[in-house]
Structure 1
């Protein structure tokens, strides 16, 4: 079993005082409102920082402003790194998290208004914007806001989708067809309607039967496949029962009676004229209906959802075409709102439709029987209550029809298209967990999946098989199978094919069996061929397929009987070698700098360094106070432990620039302004202070002399280490190697520079006086050219071409961050470590984690198998643990020593050696030998 998850805070949630105070305020706010508050709402795979989310939305104008901007919530989802898989759903989840937890707080704190009660804010959905229209002063509930259930946004209030072809229908995944437009609904007949001026129109309103707000109806319909449908009763959707038509707005003008503005009155007058014409010709008019209100008159009809449900259950091909086309669009575009339990009978109708696939290939017409009357079921009966365990036998015994996979009739293509659309609708809807759990209780759907996965091997049914596998992948987490179950056998049979998509989906479906149930998935009865195929697929360069195979092997090897079958029927040595290789899948080398010893600190020089000529030329081009700031940064650096007297600093500034005032026409700063500029230059880390004592001293605390000046790019100058006759260093600083080269030859060797810039090569005895250089000590150079060539080895490297904003005004630090020149780091050495995939908590993840889990299952369960007992009883028998893991033991130790992604996780392998001990690999890469027996408790304690 895997170790329990760590209780540490995720990196996406900060740990500071501001965040804690904000969450405390929100908690108190929601407690006062009486609403549920979730401090760390989960969106996708991450927890959301509510403080960051609140600041971001408020900076962009608030909830209404963000909701009005197109795709704004998707952009926020990308800013919060929620991932790219199903980004629209993640964006809506992020919007819902803000709406439930921060919307009322925004109204109260940002807009200064009193938020409305939770019944019209937090208890509703985050659909749309209009947050400020929901305050107590101006909130007016919409007449079509609810339809009597908790999912009003899924009940069709958005209106019927337009039937003209639009751009969204051409887009992939929109559910529209590229080859044809939207099917038109059969036109509603306009029948007789009495005159409104002479008698009141009878209008049946659903509101007369709906419970009033003062007396709500708390009766709840039972949930489940066995209670949601009764073939003897025509259930009406709860949405239909509570449907309220749009209120009719009275006209202020009196229009002319036309078929467009008053069809009933116009038809009445036409009828009077026809009756008069018939009476004039001597024929009697048709008998009057006495003002009876006919269906379709005075009622707008159901919304699009109920319209599609009724059309699907009608059995009329034209109606079903219309219904299925819209159901595909609705399930794709509104899948997060469209729930089976809100429309009783929809799931049953879709299942009945997809079961018609058998009529295209077999002589059968399935009938679902929902009543257990004790009668013997026939060959075409599917048990709707208990399922059909012999469905595979029934399919095998059915007479087959001749189907040409190349040329098909129009009736065959239209029927197959309707079945594919029904299966696609189910597939889209089960992506919502509530729908998957709801429909998993419907046993006829499991029978359909078995039928679809065992259809003839034809190209025309590939699409339907993939839809069936996608449905099975979402449902198996709520199902438990034994090895004789028809759907379980059908899923395993897909692993013997050559369709990568079918194999990948089937592997995921099998690996998810019983994931959300208490029963364990034992994976009994897996054929040897399937096991061998899975082992072979781990050798492919296909990450998705390899990951799915490892997930299956992890579930499979967790059972001792399965491990016994594995080592008895399959060659396991190649699998172990491959698993060890996958421990380094996509590994990268990460060098780490290690230090030996402690850093040393250099004392501050007794006096300021000389300003290099190159730096001085750049400083003289600046104005004050920029010039003094640049000079300070070049000649001084921050040090909280050092101090300089103000008079010493002022005198250094005067000595540097006083002689150039006439040349640059830039006066010096006043002493007080100069001292203030020191603190400004070093961002308030250098402060003017008074040091008490026998004699008060005015100092600048927090700066020190630089040992080596830097230019305005942050590059250090190089010091000339040529020793002068008195034995001291020259001490001049130069940035470019050319300037230092000319300085040595001209100032220290007295060389004569010609007009073309070259130096005259003179004969004589020349020596190199560079510090610690022994060249030309015993044997002098005979000419200047020999010495000049040697001097080039002492020249500094060329400065880096990094550019900085010009001019540099002493604000932020130069282009590259300055290192503390007075700290000398200890000797360092580099170590290379290996890193594989990790999650956001820096724990092992991906293929390496799955591989080490399979190895762990094998190492734990091999000693418990019957094959191990038989091997140890034989004379000279070798333990399966030694046989499989001894050849790769050194490689495992090497990986555990260098791969810190696996070593740092709480998951480690343990192997038994030939001395009946257990070798445990600890976090630091070391090993420990323990006696077998109660090793699990000891190992788990070390693991945690």
Structure 2
């Protein structure tokens, strides 16, 4: 009898089978003895949970402890129970709590055979964590806050500042893992809040998809000290991680309309309310104020600000401990929520971060920068920055500042804490500007440009290296929206980094300079680049560093596109070494490619009329097989696929019988029936062979196998061909024909010739007796010893070995390509073509260093003739710069054009420009 449906079947996924009912009764009896509450059909969300199914699924995964130790395991179980996707972390924790309250102790008793922990530290506690099998009254400390359910977020919280060093760094990063783009958020974060402002964005972008990947870091080997010890981040991890992971804007509630109570529509209710109001008046006829008026008591409905607003307010407060708390969490949020966290949604956040970053100058100079957004005369003060238009003389002000005596080896705790706050603010800004909207938003903030100039001109100390790299990363994302004049402080500061000894700073500076005005209509003319910087860039192209060379070529491509810059090159530096190096880079990473193209098509050998003789060795191997494997292997050894040939079924069956019937009858075994044999042909040659009926006018129908042909030389099981003995013998008709026996080993063929054809007597050691007689060679067309026969057998034996095939190495096995090779194909005449292949993109177009090198050469060839230096040389009758630079390398340029297909078009333009100039 089928089980009756449950009344609540619409929201229930429980199947009331006999097994389920027996399990529930047994579970209820267990909880009654234990003295704990048992809910037969607990609910999670809108669904009733099948405890029998839940218990079975958890046990299949190893039990409660193992599932709890696995990341996202309870969420996967929640998906199996179809709990929905809305707020899945909370639903998954509710499902975990159901198991914890109802099944955990039962599992420990029945499955593991142990005494479960007392109910005071099991059922009466929250379901956070695992390790129930080892929980005791001595090693378990109950949670003080029983109302804390932050574990429902499924997140382990924001780690303490000291913990981030070990968990967030990438191996081999050297403590600076955040200099690259951010990596994608971890997969365990399934819910991401949408913090997009409801108002229209002030910046309109053409692309809403972002490919920047988040990456995070923290200052290595930096322990929180001083003001940072006034709070303990680890104690707030659970609450804060829940707020970060599950925050979402409050949903708009529908407006509820209720009628106003008046004497006309509800006189009784109006009279009752009027009476109650009169009773609440005091002796003076005034309402009695409530005892707690104006005070919002705990639990009255106010949840407090979310983590985003909390960090923003703490950062603006100016209190060191609050700022320490805010920056600690802002680094975490900007790393994990970088694709959602936008400056537009949090007014004042960018300004607060900039003000915090500007405090770095107070650590090294006697200055306290102030930002003024009005023109009220305060701009003339040396410590006031122009927040509206920027400070054009910021570099002069920095040069006039009085430096403080800072020991880079031993730092006070206050100095270290203050510098750490500045670095964390810069890291937060750096992570956020990786998002295009944030970069475009802060690009209009003049104080940020002033900070970048200040940071890049800090003293050359190890303690500020990380901050300088963050500043360069920020500049790299901002310069695409900025246009610089020759005397711009930030532009000058970026060019100064090209004199640095830090490879990372040089690379980032080159990329930042190359991106200037990328998204603007103005052109990046790169004026005012110092001679030393240009010479360094030319020298770096010689390094065996592809990333550095590529960045230098990108800079040179933009630099040489301007005629004035090319004029500066020809008059101030030696350009010949650069042209020679660029010519060498045209073949950077080149690979020689050879492709044969057929001039004469492949031919075909005619099909043999008779079946090849089956080698004795192969026959022995075939007799060991059972049908139908024996017939399949026989077909593969003596036949091959050929769509243009066919063989009659009768002839094929007769050849098979001729091979095996005599031997099979002696052993008492049977062969495959004819009908099954014909079917097996199509199974053996799946691609080509098919059984057909050929009908021709005036002829009887023929039953054939279309698509196969006889091999002229049989092959073994591995596809290796046998070798045919070509020793001429007299047939029964008297004609001279080759022997026709097949052998795989040269030694076996040699013994066959010596014993069968020369009648040599074998000795006990495997050799042959050196008999004296008249001997001649009858191998094929060989005429050796026909004129003067050999008198000893050893003379002919040494000669016979020249006709034998080469022995195959013992470790060489037949490959699939060898087995699939068609023996009847005669290769045609092929012409090899050689060319060089360099880096290319998905469309097989030129890319990488060779493309950049040819573009720089093309700019030089086009603009050299337009320079003043070239005009002066021509007037004086001297050698043109174009001839001087390109004539020595012109043969090499033509060679690259002829041998590199990807660069042919660009090389043609280059040589055309050289000849035209």
The verdict on a shared fold, with TM-score over 0.5 as the criterion, is yes
Which residue of 1 is the match for residue 410 of structure 2?
A: 407
Given that 1:169 and 1:178 are in contact with CA atoms closer than 8 Å, whether structure 2 keeps it comes out as no
Which residue of 1 is the match for residue 49 of structure 2?
A: none
Task: Name the TM-score, length of structure 2 as normaliser.
Answer: 0.69
Which residue of 2 is the match for residue 623 of structure 1?
A: 626
Cα deviation per residue 1:423-453 (whole Å; 9 max; x = unaligned)? 1111122222222222222121111000111
Q: 1:894-913 residue pairs with structure 2 within 5 A?
A: 894-903=895-904, 906-911=905-910
Aligned counterpart in structure 2 of residue 682 of structure 1, from 654, 668, 685: 685
Distance 1:171 1:665, change over 3 A: farther
Given that 2:648 and 2:703 are in contact with CA atoms closer than 8 Å, whether structure 1 keeps it comes out as yes
Which residue of 1 is the match for residue 838 of structure 2?
A: 836
Aligned counterpart in structure 1 of residue 566 of structure 2, from 563, 569, 579: 563
Structure 1 CA distance, aligned partners of 2:81 and 2:724? 72
Given that 1:855 and 1:909 are in contact with CA atoms closer than 8 Å, whether structure 2 keeps it comes out as no
Distance 1:562 1:293, change over 3 A: same
Which residue of 2 is the match for residue 862 of structure 1?
A: 864
Cα deviation per residue 1:147-172 (whole Å; 9 max; x = unaligned)? xxxxxxxxx98889355689766224
Cα deviation per residue 1:394-435 (whole Å; 9 max; x = unaligned)? 212222222222222222111111111111111122222222
The RMSD of aligned alpha carbons is 3.6
Given that 1:713 and 1:802 are in contact with CA atoms closer than 8 Å, whether structure 2 keeps it comes out as no
Structure 2 CA distance, aligned partners of 1:866 and 1:804? 72
Which residue of 1 is the match for residue 753 of structure 2?
A: 744
Which residue of 1 is the match for residue 398 of structure 2?
A: 395
Given that 1:836 and 1:899 are in contact with CA atoms closer than 8 Å, whether structure 2 keeps it comes out as yes
Q: 1:345-494 residue pairs with structure 2 within 5 A?
A: 345-373=348-376, 376-494=379-497
Structure 2 CA distance, aligned partners of 1:613 and 1:814? 24
Distance 1:815 1:437, change over 3 A: same
Measure how far apart 1:712 and its partner are.
Answer: 0.9
Q: 1:691-702 residue pairs with structure 2 within 5 A?
A: 691-693=694-696, 694-702=699-707
Structure 2 CA distance, aligned partners of 1:222 and 1:894? 54
Measure how far apart 1:700 and its partner are.
Answer: 1.0
Which residue of 1 is the match for residue 672 of structure 2?
A: 669
Flag the structure with larger Rg. 2
Q: Secondary structure at the match of 1:437?
A: helix
Q: Given the alignment of the two structures, is residue 846 of structure 1 paired with residue 848 of structure 2, yes or no?
A: yes
Structure 2 CA distance, aligned partners of 1:796 and 1:174? 60
Structure 1 CA distance, aligned partners of 2:747 and 2:847? 55
Measure how far apart 1:143 and its partner are.
Answer: 13
Structure 2 CA distance, aligned partners of 1:524 and 1:630? 79
Which residue of 1 is the match for residue 8 of structure 2?
A: none
Which residue of 2 is the match for residue 888 of structure 1?
A: 889
Which residue of 2 is the match for residue 119 of structure 1?
A: none
Q: How many aligned residue pairs are there?
A: 682
Measure how far apart 1:774 and its partner are.
Answer: 4.7
Structure 2 CA distance, aligned partners of 1:739 and 1:166? 77
Distance 1:158 1:646, change over 3 A: closer
Q: Secondary structure at the match of 1:798?
A: coil
Structure 2: runs of 5 or more not aligned: 1-56, 62-74, 92-151, 176-195, 205-243, 254-288
Cα deviation per residue 1:113-144 (whole Å; 9 max; x = unaligned)? xxxxxxxxxxxxxx999889999xx7868999
Q: Secondary structure at the match of 1:470?
A: helix
Distance 1:244 1:642, change over 3 A: closer
Q: 1:397-796 residue pairs with structure 2 within 5 A?
A: 397-693=400-696, 694-725=699-730, 726-796=735-805
Structure 1 CA distance, aligned partners of 2:668 and 2:859? 83
Structure 1 CA distance, aligned partners of 2:779 and 2:560? 72
Given that 1:714 and 1:815 are in contact with CA atoms closer than 8 Å, whether structure 2 keeps it comes out as no
Which residue of 1 is the match for residue 52 of structure 2?
A: none
Q: Name whichever of 419-428 and 763-772 sits farther off.
A: 763-772
Measure how far apart 1:688 and its partner are.
Answer: 1.2
Q: Secondary structure at the match of 1:724?
A: strand
Which residue of 1 is the match for residue 326 of structure 2?
A: 323
Given that 2:627 and 2:671 are in contact with CA atoms closer than 8 Å, whether structure 1 keeps it comes out as yes
Cα deviation per residue 1:817-842 (whole Å; 9 max; x = unaligned)? 41111111113454543322222332
Given that 2:158 and 2:332 are in contact with CA atoms closer than 8 Å, whether structure 1 keeps it comes out as no
Measure how far apart 1:337 and its partner are.
Answer: 2.6
Q: Secondary structure at the match of 1:728?
A: strand
Cα deviation per residue 1:70-112 (whole Å; 9 max; x = unaligned)? xxxxxxxxxxxxxxxxxxxxxxxxxxxxxxxxxxxxxxxxxxx
Q: Secondary structure at the match of 1:651?
A: helix
Given that 1:896 and 1:902 are in contact with CA atoms closer than 8 Å, whether structure 2 keeps it comes out as yes
Distance 1:814 1:891, change over 3 A: closer
Distance 1:467 1:525, change over 3 A: same
Given that 1:623 and 1:666 are in contact with CA atoms closer than 8 Å, whether structure 2 keeps it comes out as no
Cα deviation per residue 1:594-632 (whole Å; 9 max; x = unaligned)? 443221111111121111222111111111111111111
Given that 2:854 and 2:910 are in contact with CA atoms closer than 8 Å, whether structure 1 keeps it comes out as no
Given that 1:528 and 1:570 are in contact with CA atoms closer than 8 Å, whether structure 2 keeps it comes out as yes
Q: Name whichever of 322-331 and 312-321 sits farther off.
A: 322-331
Structure 2 CA distance, aligned partners of 1:898 and 1:441? 49
Distance 1:157 1:909, change over 3 A: farther
Given that 2:632 and 2:681 are in contact with CA atoms closer than 8 Å, whether structure 1 keeps it comes out as yes
Measure how far apart 1:753 and its partner are.
Answer: 1.4
Q: Given the alignment of the two structures, is residue 173 of structure 1 paired with residue 178 of structure 2, yes or no?
A: no
Structure 2 CA distance, aligned partners of 1:721 and 1:471? 82
Measure how far apart 1:291 and its partner are.
Answer: 5.0
Q: Secondary structure at the match of 2:903?
A: helix
Q: Secondary structure at the match of 2:428?
A: helix
Given that 1:564 and 1:865 are in contact with CA atoms closer than 8 Å, whether structure 2 keeps it comes out as yes
Given that 1:597 and 1:826 are in contact with CA atoms closer than 8 Å, whether structure 2 keeps it comes out as yes
Q: Secondary structure at the match of 2:761?
A: coil
Structure 1 CA distance, aligned partners of 2:832 and 2:550? 34
Q: Secondary structure at the match of 2:737?
A: coil
Cα deviation per residue 1:749-791 (whole Å; 9 max; x = unaligned)? 2211122211112223332222344544444433222222222
Cα deviation per residue 1:478-508 (whole Å; 9 max; x = unaligned)? 2211211111110000101211111111111
Structure 1: runs of 5 or more not aligned: 1-64, 70-126, 146-155, 180-215, 225-236, 247-286, 806-812, 920-928, 934-944
Q: 1:154-165 residue pairs with structure 2 within 5 A?
A: 161-162=157-158
Given that 1:524 and 1:562 are in contact with CA atoms closer than 8 Å, whether structure 2 keeps it comes out as yes
Q: 1:246-257 residue pairs with structure 2 within 5 A?
A: none
Measure how far apart 1:586 and its partner are.
Answer: 2.3
Q: Secondary structure at the match of 1:311?
A: helix
Given that 1:360 and 1:412 are in contact with CA atoms closer than 8 Å, whether structure 2 keeps it comes out as yes
Distance 1:463 1:217, change over 3 A: closer
Given that 1:881 and 1:911 are in contact with CA atoms closer than 8 Å, whether structure 2 keeps it comes out as no
Structure 2 CA distance, aligned partners of 1:361 and 1:894? 58
Structure 1 CA distance, aligned partners of 2:755 and 2:791? 18
Q: Given the alignment of the two structures, is residue 826 of structure 1 paired with residue 831 of structure 2, yes or no?
A: no
